[in-house]
C-alpha cells in the first residue's frame, strides 16, 4: 500500500492539554467512531431484514472524520456526500436517533430534521431557516447544506458557500451582516469519494476555487474503489492529489495547498487537518486533503457485497488496516487506555446504538400502528352494517397481518373497503371517508409539500406595484430599461451581487449591466470563466448564506451545462429538506429567437420538467423582465428569468419607478381581446402572434392573445380558461419542440382549468420543428412559427368550424 506524505509523529500537541484531558478527548473520539461503526452494521441488517429500503454508510471513514470535526467551528459549512455520519455525530449536527429515523424514512421533521424522511440515510442537512422562513443566526451555528446522491453534484454549491466568506470579508458594505458571517472567517468543508473526483463538476469547481482563492477545504475519502471500479480505471496515476500537483500554489501565484495523509493514522490526521484548515481560514486559500488508505468494510451499499470484486489480499489488508482497529491498537500501545477499559466502552457503545435504533423504530412504528388500528376500527364498524362482511373482514385481516406495515397499508385498506361498498351508504361509511380525507391531507403534507418554502417572503406574496409612467417618459432600448432596474436595486440592497461570463467589464453581452461594475465594484458585478455549472452552484451557495445573487448563463442553450446543478440540487432543495433550507438565487439568461442551432434555443420542455422548484419566468419584453426582477429580488425563492434575445434594442417606455414596480408571478395578462379564438403564447413568439393578429383581423378573425408571463406558476387566476368561455377555441403557439412546453400548457388549460369542457373544436398547438433551428433568417422562418404559420393555422381552425364564412385559403 502507498505511503503517506504525512506519517505523523505519534504525538499530539499537548501544550494546552493535561494528559487526562488528552486521554478524555481521544477516548471520546473513539467512542463516537465506534458508535458510528455500530450504526453502520445495524443499519445494514435493518435493510437486509426488510425494515428499511436501502442503506449506504460511512464505515471505514470514521477516524478521518473525527479529525475534520475537530477543526469545524460555528459558522462553518459542510457540503459533503453520503459517507460523513461520523463527522456529523462528532460535530453534534446529527445524532444516532436521527440517523435511524432517516433510515426508516420517518416523515416527522422532529425525528429526521435533515429531510423529514424524504432522503435515504446518510443524507444530511441542518435546518437554517425558521418555520416562518426567516434565517437563523448562521454565524452561531454549525451549518450543513443538504446532501444529495449524485456524486460530485454538491461541488458547485460548495464553491458558493466558500465564495460567500470572501465577499463577507472583502466587501465592507456587508460588515453589518453578523447573522451570516464574522469577517468571512468561515470555511466551507467539502467531502467527496475518490471515484467521484473523475466527474467534470469536480474539476470545474476545483479550477474555479483556485482562481477565486476562497476558503474551501476539500477532503477526498480514498478507499481505492468507486463501487467495483478500481482507481486504475478511475484516475490517471491512480492518485488524484498526484495529478493535481499543478494547482499547488507557489510564491506569487494563486492555487491550493495540497495535503496527503493516511485514513487510519489518527495522530497524522489531526495534525494535518489542523495545519490545512488554519491556512484555509486565515489566508483564504483553498486546500485539498487527500485521505488515502481508507477502507469500506461493508462495501458500497446494501445493494451488494464487495467480496465480489476485491481480491483476497485486498480484503486482508482492509481488515488489518481498518481505521478503528488501528486507532484502538495505538491507544493501547500508547497507554491511553487498557484492553479491558476499551472493551467496556465498546460494549456500552453497542448497547447505546441498539437502544437508539429501537427507539427510532418504535417512534415511527407506534404512530403507524395507531393509524392502522384506527383504519381497522372504522372498517370493522362498516363491516357491521355492510352486506359485504366477509370481504371487509378480509381487508382487515390483510392489513393486520402485514409485515412491517406502513401508512400506505392503512390508507390502501380504507380505499379498498370503500371500493367494495361503492353501492352502499351508511354513517359508518361516511366516518371512514372522513378519516381517509384527513389522512390524505396529512400525507400530502408529509410527502408532497414544500416544493417552495412558501414563507411570508415568498415572491408570490410581494406587493404588486404598477409601473408608473411620466407623461414625457423616454423611449429607450430594452437593455437600458434592464440596466436602470439593476442599478436601482443594487443601490437599494447591498447584498445583491451579479456574476457570469462577460457580466463585469463589458456589462454582459447585451449591456444589461453596462457601467455597473465601475459604479458598484468588481465584488458585486463580476466576470467569471466559462463554467456554467459552477456559476449556478456559486449562486446557490451565496443565496444559502444570505446574499442575493443573480447568476447569469449567457444563453439559455448553455443552461444544459448546468442542468444537473439546477435540477438535482437547487430545484429540489426546499422539498428534500422539508422546508428546512432555501437558496433564493435568480438565474438570468436569454434565448428564443436569434440565429443558429446554439443561439436560438427555447428548451422550455426540458426546463419545465427538470426545474420544478424554481419559478420559471418568460417575460415578453424587458419592462416585464424588470418587473419580475423587482419581485424576485424582494422574495426568497429561486427562479430563472429567460429574456428575449431579440428584444434588447427594441424601444420601450421607461417607468418612473423602474426599480420598484413589480410584476406578479403566475398572473397571466390578456394583450389583445377577441371573441373568435384564444391564443396562448409567451416570450419572443408573442410578438409574432401580435403581428399575426393584425393580419387575421383583415380576414375577419379576431383572436384573444394571452401571455402567461410565467410558466411556473402558470396562470393562477385561470385567465386562459375564462377566455375559452367566450371563444371556445384554443391554439398554443410555442417555439419549443412539438409536445414540449405546448403540451404542458395544454395540460394546465384543458385539465387543471377544465378548459376541455369549453371547447367546440379540437385544440391545436403550433410549435417549432423536431430539430434545432438552423442558421439564418430562412432557417428561422422554416423551422419556427412565423406570422404566416399562425395566420393560416388560426384561419384553418375557424374554417373547420364555419367553412362557409371562412373558405379554405388553399
Place of cell 505519534: 10
CB-CB contact of 533 with 156 (8 Å):
yes
CA–CA dist 646, 594 (Å, integer): 6
Task: Report in angstroms the alpha-carbon separations of 626 from 228, 593, 617, 619, 622.
Answer: 51, 20, 11, 9, 6
Give the contacts of 518 (CB within 8 A, at least 6 positions apart).
none
For 116-235, strand residue ranges (E) read 143-144, 188-193, 216-221, 225-226, 229-230
CB-CB contact of 626 with 485 (8 Å):
yes
- Number of other residues whose CB lies within 10 A of the CB of residue 589: 23
Sheet holding 669-672, edge to edge: 669-672, 703-707, 677-680, 730-733, 764-766
Longest dimension (CA), the chain: 103
End-to-end CA distance of the chain: 80
Residue in 284, 306, 592, 599 annotated catalytic: 599
* DSSP conformation class of 568: I
CA–CA dist 595, 779 (Å, integer): 8
H/E element holding 67?
helix 62-70
Task: Report in angstroms the alpha-carbon separations of 207 from 79, 587, 692, 805.
Answer: 17, 22, 49, 66
Nearest-10 crossing angle of helices 62-70, 323-333: 70
- Number of other residues whose CB lies within 10 A of the CB of residue 777: 8
CB-CB contact of 699 with 746 (8 Å):
no
377 catalytic residue (yes or no): no
Radius of gyration of the CA atoms of the chain, in A: 30
CA dihedral for 394, 400, 404, 406, sign (positive or negative): positive
CA dihedral for 802, 803, 805, 809, sign (positive or negative): positive
CA–CA dist 56, 77 (Å, integer): 22
CA dihedral for 207, 500, 279, 231, sign (positive or negative): negative
Residues annotated as part of the active site:
599
Amino acid at each position: 500500500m502507498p505511503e503517506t506524505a504525512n506519517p505523523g509523529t505519534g504525538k499530539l500537541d499537548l501544550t494546552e492539554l493535561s494528559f487526562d484531558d488528552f486521554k478524555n478527548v481521544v477516548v471520546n473520539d473513539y467512542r463516537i467512531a465506534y458508535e458510528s461503526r455500530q450504526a453502520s452494521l445495524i443499519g445494514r441488517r435493518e435493510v437486509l431484514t426488510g425494515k428499511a429500503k436501502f442503506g449506504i454508510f460511512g464505515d471505514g471513514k470514521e477516524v478521518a472524520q473525527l479529525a475534520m470535526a475537530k477543526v469545524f467551528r460555528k459558522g462553518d459549512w459542510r457540503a459533503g456526500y453520503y459517507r460523513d455520519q461520523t463527522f456529523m455525530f462528532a460535530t453534534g449536527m446529527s445524532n444516532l436517533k436521527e440517523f435511524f429515523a432517516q433510515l426508516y424514512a420517518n416523515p416527522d421533521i422532529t425525528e429526521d430534521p435533515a429531510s423529514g424522511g424524504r432522503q435515504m440515510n446518510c443524507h444530511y442537512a441542518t435546518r437554517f431557516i425558521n418555520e416562518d422562513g426567516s434565517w437563523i443566526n448562521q454565524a452561531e451555528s454549525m451549518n450543513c447544506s443538504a446532501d444529495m446522491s449524485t456524486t460530485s453534484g454538491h461541488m458547485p454549491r460548495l464553491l458558493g458557500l466558500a465564495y460567500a466568506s470572501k465577499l463577507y470579508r472583502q466587501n465592507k458594505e456587508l460588515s453589518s451582516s453578523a447573522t451570516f458571517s464574522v469577517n468571512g472567517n468561515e470555511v466551507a468543508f467539502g467531502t467527496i469519494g475518490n471515484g467521484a473526483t473523475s466527474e467534470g463538476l469536480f474539476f470545474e469547481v476545483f479550477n474555479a476555487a483556485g482562481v477565486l482563492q476562497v476558503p474551501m477545504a476539500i477532503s477526498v475519502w480514498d478507499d481505492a474503489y468507486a463501487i467495483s471500479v478500481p482507481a486504475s480505471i478511475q484516475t490517471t496515476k491512480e492518485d488524484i492529489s498526484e495529478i493535481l500537483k499543478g494547482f499547488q500554489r507557489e510564491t506569487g501565484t494563486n492555487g491550493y495547498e495540497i495535503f496527503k495523509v493516511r485514513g487510519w493514522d489518527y495522530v497524522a490526521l489531526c495534525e494535518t487537518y489542523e495545519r490545512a484548515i488554519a491556512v484555509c481560514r486565515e489566508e483564504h486559500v483553498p486546500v485539498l486533503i487527500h485521505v488515502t488508505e481508507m477502507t469500506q468494510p461493508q462495501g458500497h451499499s446494501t445493494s451488494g457485497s464487495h467480496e465480489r470484486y476485491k481480491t483476497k489480499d485486498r480484503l486482508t489488508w482492509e481488515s488489518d488496516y481498518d481505521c478503528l482497529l488501528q486507532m484502538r491498537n495505538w491507544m493501547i500501545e500508547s497507554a491511553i487506555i487498557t484492553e479491558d477499559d476499551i472493551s467496556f466502552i465498546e460494549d456500552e457503545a453497542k448497547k447505546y446504538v441498539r437502544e437508539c435504533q429501537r427507539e427510532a423504530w418504535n417512534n415511527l412504528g407506534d404512530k403507524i400502528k395507531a393509524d392502522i388500528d384506527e383504519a381497522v376500527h372504522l372498517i370493522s364498524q362498516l363491516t357491521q352494517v355492510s352486506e359485504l362482511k366477509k370481504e371487509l373482514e378480509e381487508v382487515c385481516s390483510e392489513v393486520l397481518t402485514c409485515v412491517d406495515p406502513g401508512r400506505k397499508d392503512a390508507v390502501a385498506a380504507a380505499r379498498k373497503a370503500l371500493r367494495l361498498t361503492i353501492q352502499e351508504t351508511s354513517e359508518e361509511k361516511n366516518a371512514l371517508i372522513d378519516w381517509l380525507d384527513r389522512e390524505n391531507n396529512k400525507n400530502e403534507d408529509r410527502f408532497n409539500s414544500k416544493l417552495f418554502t412558501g414563507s411570508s417572503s415568498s415572491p408570490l406574496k410581494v406587493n404588486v406595484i404598477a409601473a408608473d409612467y411620466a407623461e414625457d417618459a423616454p423611449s429607450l432600448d430594452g437593455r437600458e430599461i434592464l440596466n436602470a432596474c439593476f442599478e436601482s436595486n443594487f443601490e437599494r440592497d447591498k447584498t445583491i451581487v451579479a456574476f457570469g461570463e462577460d457580466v463585469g467589464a463589458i456589462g454582459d453581452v447585451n449591456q444589461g449591466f453596462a457601467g455597473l461594475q465601475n459604479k458598484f465594484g468588481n465584488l458585486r458585478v463580476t466576470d467569471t470563466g466559462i463554467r456554467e455549472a459552477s456559476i449556478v452552484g456559486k449562486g446557490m451557495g451565496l443565496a444559502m448564506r444570505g446574499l442575493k445573487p443573480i447568476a447569469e448563463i449567457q444563453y439559455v442553450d448553455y443552461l444544459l451545462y448546468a442542468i444537473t446543478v439546477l435540477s438535482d440540487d437547487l430545484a429540489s432543495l426546499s422539498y428534500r429538506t422539508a422546508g428546512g433550507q432555501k437558496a433564493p438565487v435568480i438565474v438570468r439568461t436569454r434565448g428564443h429567437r436569434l440565429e443558429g442551432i446554439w443561439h436560438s434555443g427555447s428548451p422550455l420542455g426540458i426546463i419545465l420538467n427538470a426545474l420544478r422548484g424554481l419559478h420559471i419566468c418568460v417575460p415578453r419584453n424587458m419592462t416585464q423582465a424588470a418587473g419580475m426582477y423587482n419581485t424576485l429580488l424582494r422574495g426568497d425563492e429561486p427562479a430563472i428569468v429567460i429574456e428575449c434575445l431579440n428584444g434588447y434594442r427594441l424601444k420601450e417606455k421607461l417607468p418612473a419607478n423602474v426599480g420598484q414596480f413589480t410584476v406578479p408571478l403566475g398572473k397571466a395578462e390578456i394583450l389583445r381581446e377577441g371573441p373568435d379564438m384564444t391564443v396562448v403564447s409567451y416570450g419572443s413568439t408573442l410578438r409574432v402572434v401580435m403581428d399575426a393578429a393584425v393580419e387575421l383581423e383583415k380576414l375577419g378573425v379576431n383572436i384573444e392573445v394571452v401571455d402567461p408571463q410565467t410558466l411556473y406558476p402558470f396562470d393562477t387566476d385561470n385567465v386562459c380558461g375564462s377566455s375559452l368561455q367566450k371563444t371556445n377555441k384554443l391554439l398554443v403557439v410555442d417555439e419549443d419542440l412539438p409536445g414540449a412546453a405546448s403540451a404542458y400548457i395544454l395540460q394546465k388549460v384543458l385539465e387543471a382549468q377544465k378548459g376541455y369542457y369549453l371547447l367546440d373544436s379540437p385544440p391545436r398547438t403550433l410549435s417549432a420543428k423536431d430539430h434545432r433551428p438552423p442558421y439564418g433568417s430562412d432557417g428561422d422562418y422554416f423551422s419556427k412559427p412565423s406570422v404566416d404559420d399562425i395566420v393560416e393555422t388560426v384561419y384553418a381552425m375557424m374554417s373547420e368550424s364555419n367553412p362557409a364564412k371562412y373558405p379554405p385559403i388553399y
